């Protein structure tokens, strides 16, 4: 007695025929939005598929259908992303993450964070007409991180900054903060001379 093994996949009806797949490939030349392709497909074949199904089929069969740009834009405009201010930013626009404020300075880099600079660094460079390096830190003398005035921004080195905040010597009085910064700057210079 021999048993015949049946393959479930062979008996299953093939939903995505060559005709449908060829139609989808040709539709890329006519439509530039996946939502338009979906509507035309459902009308032509009298089906009721969704964008999720179409995206899945496009990925499996490597059709490279265009994205649903209008739907993405509509969801961006009505979602929490735009409610929090994460819309398209232009050069000079500010964005805040709750801890720091950033200013967009360029559109050249593909990495998003390379196009932004911390606001106090940006303003310090413009106030004093200098270019800061990675070893320079800008601190707020009076401790108010919303006061971007020229007198409140002060440049310190990485070593002085870590010593200042490590010993918790930073206080809200600008004069005393500046005195302590000068103390650490002199200490750093003495250490460099002793080497």
Q: Which of 31, 29, 28 is nearest to 64 (CA)?
A: 28
Whole-angstrom distance, CA of residue 3 vs CA of residue 19: 36
* Residue whose pair of structure tokens reads 């990495």 in the numeric block: 111
Whole-angstrom distance, CA of residue 191 vs CA of residue 136: 18
Would you say residue 172 has pLDDT above 70? no
Q: Which residues pair with 153 in a beta bridge?
A: 140
pTM: 0.51
Buried residues in 59-69 as b, exposed as e (16+ CB within 10 A): eeeebebeebe
DSSP state of 112: G
Between these two residues, 83 and 50, which has the higher pLDDT value?
A: 50
As given in the structure block, the two tokens for residue 69 are: 């740009």
Q: Which of 51, 52, 44, 35 is nearest to 17 (CA)?
A: 44
Over residues 59-87, the mean pLDDT reads: 68
Per-range mean pLDDT, top range of 60-64, 76-80, 107-111, 120-124: 120-124
Whole-angstrom distance, CA of residue 122 vs CA of residue 114: 13
Between these two residues, 185 and 78, which has the higher pLDDT value?
A: 185
Residue 104: HSE in the Cβ half-sphere, 13 Å Cα cutoff: 16
Q: Where are the alpha helices (DSSP H) in the chain?
A: 8-11, 18-30, 34-45, 51-60, 69-78, 80-83, 119-128, 158-166, 174-194
pLDDT recorded at residue 11: 47
pLDDT recorded at residue 79: 54
pLDDT recorded at residue 169: 58
Tell me the pLDDT of the chain averaged across its residues.
78
Q: Percentage of the chain with pLDDT > 90?
A: 2
pLDDT recorded at residue 85: 55
pLDDT recorded at residue 171: 63
Chain centre distance of CA 63: 28
């Amino acid at each position: 007695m021999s048993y015949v093994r049946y393959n479930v996949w062979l008996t299953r009806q093939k939903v995505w025929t060559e005709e449908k797949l060829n139609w989808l490939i040709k539709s890329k030349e006519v439509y530039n939005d996946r939502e338009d392709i979906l509507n035309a497909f459902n009308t032509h074949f009298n089906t009721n598929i969704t964008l999720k199904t179409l995206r899945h089929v496009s990925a499996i069969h490597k059709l490279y259908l265009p994205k649903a740009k209008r739907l993405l834009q509509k969801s961006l405009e009505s979602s929490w992303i735009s409610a929090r201010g994460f819309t398209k930013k232009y050069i000079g626009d500010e964005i805040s993450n709750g801890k720091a404020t950033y200013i967009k300075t360029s559109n050249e880099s593909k990495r998003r964070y390379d196009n932004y600079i911390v606001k106090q660094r940006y303003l310090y460079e413009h106030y004093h007409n200098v270019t800061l390096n990675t070893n320079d830190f800008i601190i707020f003398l009076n401790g108010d991180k919303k006061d971007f005035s020229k007198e409140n921004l002060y440049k310190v080195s990485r070593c002085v900054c870590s010593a200042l905040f490590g010993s918790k010597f930073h206080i809200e009085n600008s004069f005393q903060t500046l005195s302590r910064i000068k103390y650490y700057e002199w200490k750093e210079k003495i250490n460099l001379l002793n080497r």
